[in-house]
Amino acid sequence: MGHVLSYWRGRHGLLVGGDVNVFAWTWNNLAGIVQFLGLYFAIGGLWSIVKWYFYLLKVRDQVRSGKFDRSYRADETTKNKRPKASYARENKGRIMGWIGHWPFSMIGSLFGDILTKVVRAVYEVLRSVYDRIGNSVFADFEK
């Protein structure tokens, strides 16, 4: 067991505080670090395009349904005018967050957005059942 731990510590000393010169390690692995960062931000860029598309669909649907808050856009007076929130320049922080934090954004989208849609769909399927139960329980009350 001791041999395995010393091997692991020797190979991964950077992670457990071993005798590793961080600057030398960085210099010796610079190509791999650059490749990793390039891939990381390329995936983040692609993810931001996916998120942007779904964000725009959400804004469009909110505008069409009248649920979109237009109070902070004084220059928009008609419902058919494209809202400022649908332009990339108005969402720089949001988009940069998607690029830089894409692993967390992806997890949040998978477990948050998709789960919310599934739960909402189940509710819509069962809503009439809930209403019938309520009507049965309160049958002797006025509507």
Domain boundaries of the chain, sorted by first residue:
2-100
The token pair that represents 12 in the structure block? 């991964």
The mean per-residue pLDDT over the stretch 92-119 comes to: 92
> Residue 75 belongs to what H/E stretch?
none
**Which of 11 and 72 is assigned the larger pLDDT?**
11
State the burial class of residue 143 (Cβ atoms within 10 Å of its Cβ: 0-12, 13-18, 19+).
exposed
The mean per-residue pLDDT over the stretch 7-26 comes to: 67
Rounded-to-integer distance, Cα 103 and Cα 95, Å: 14
> Residue 117 belongs to what H/E stretch?
helix 114-137
**Which of 46 and 74 is assigned the larger pLDDT?**
46
**Which of 82 and 19 is assigned the larger pLDDT?**
82
Tell me the pLDDT band of 138, cut-offs 50, 70 and 90: very high
Q: Are 48 and 98 in contact (CB under 8 A)?
A: yes
Rounded-to-integer distance, Cα 88 and Cα 117, Å: 25
pTM of this structure? 0.63
Tell me the pLDDT band of 38, cut-offs 50, 70 and 90: very high
pLDDT score of 10 more than 90: no
